[in-house]
Amino acid sequence: LVVGDPLDAATDVGPLAPAGDPARLAALVDDAVAAGARVAGTRASVPDNGHWFAPAVLVDVPAAAAASRDEVFGPVAALSTYDDLDDAVAQHRATGYGLAGYVCGTDVEAAREVSRRLRAGIVGINTGTPNYPGAPFGGLGLSGTGYEGGPQGLEAFQTWRTTAVVGGAAS
């Protein structure tokens, strides 16, 4: 992936907003590698000035690694395999987070069954982009508060008021 100016059509990944994010993401990758994960492939080069982080795909990430149990919010993918689906779902639920979940597979009905077991505000089956402006999007558990998008997101900007009047003359 090309890391660079988001206005350049050749760019795949732009800069990070918070100045501390490159160091935070590097610490997540280092922690995962120290716990036994490995970085797949090669890392992209990044521009010299600004807040950049080369995308990283971590393979065989132990459940104890921060990249596996915390929300990353950056170009880091923590992958791990499983032998027992119940254990995989239990690991997901044990994090306490539930912003989004993703299920991939050729048996869509089986994927739907797995998606029902996930504790997430939005789930993509065979897609990395399950949300769109008309769909409510928000997390469960430790993942945020409220929703954006769809009618549920608009409710966050509404205020309700009840006025009760007893007696008095009508004007």
Q: What is the DSSP string of 112-128?
A: HHHHHH---SEEEES-S
Residue 34 lies in a domain: yes
Residue 146 lies in a domain: yes
Q: Check residue 168 and give its pLDDT.
A: 75
Q: Check residue 23 and give its pLDDT.
A: 97
- Number of domains into which the chain is organized: 2
Q: What is the domain extent for residue 148?
A: 82-152
**77 and 125 inside one domain:** no
pTM of the model: 0.78
Q: Check residue 157 and give its pLDDT.
A: 79
Measured in whole angstroms, how far is the alpha carbon of residue 168 from the centre of its chain?
56
Residue type, 75: P
Kindly list the averaged pLDDT for each block of 10 residues, start to end, along the chain of length 171.
95 95 97 97 90 96 93 93 93 91 94 95 92 83 80 80 80 62
Residue 165 lies in a domain: no
Residue 160 lies in a domain: no
The helix/strand/coil state of 87 is helix
Q: Check residue 124 and give its pLDDT.
A: 95
**73 and 143 inside one domain:** no
**10 and 77 inside one domain:** yes
**48 and 113 inside one domain:** no
